[in-house]
Amino acid sequence: MPQMNGVQAAERIRMHLNKDILPLLLMAGSSSDAEQNDESVFAGSVLRPVKPDHLGLLMLRVLQRQSDEGVLSAVPVRFQDQISRQALNEQMAVRHPLRILLAEDDRMNQRVALRLLERIGYRADIAMNGLEVLESLARQTYDIVLMDVEMPEMDGLQATRHIRRFLPGERQPRIAAMTAHALQGDREYYLSQGMDDYISKPVNLQDLVHVLQKTPVLVSQKLGMAK
Helix (H) or strand (E) holding 46: strand 44-47
Q: What is the pLDDT of residue 87?
A: 52
Cα separation of 43 and 227, whole Å? 34
- Residue 77 is predicted with a pLDDT of 30
Residue range 49-64: average pLDDT?
Answer: 68
Kindly tell me the sign of the dihedral angle through the C-alpha atoms of 154, 160, 164, 170. positive
Domain identity same for 13 and 98: no
pLDDT tens digits along 33-55: 656 666 778 877 777 777 666 67
Q: How far apart are CA 33 and CA 27, in angstroms?
A: 9
Assess whether 41 and 148 both reside in one domain. no
Q: Is the same domain home to 108 and 59?
A: no
213 in the same domain as 102: yes
| Strand partners for 175 | 145
Q: Are residues 120 and 43 in the same domain?
A: no
pLDDT digits (tens, 9 = 90+) for 86-109: 555 668 898 899 999 999 999 999
Burial (CB count <10 Å: 0-12, 13-18, 19+), residue 16? exposed
Q: Is residue 1 part of a domain?
A: no
Q: Which tens digit of pLDDT belongs to each residue from 186-227?
A: 888 999 999 999 998 888 888 899 999 999 987 655 554 444
* 201 and 120 share one domain: yes
Q: Both 205 and 116 in a single domain?
A: yes
Neighbouring-strand partners of residue 178: 148, 199
Residue 167 burial class via C-beta count within 10 angstroms: exposed 0-12, middle 13-18, buried 19 and up: middle
Spatial distance between the Cα atoms of 19 and 11, rounded to a whole number of angstroms: 11
Q: Are residues 95 and 65 in the same domain?
A: no
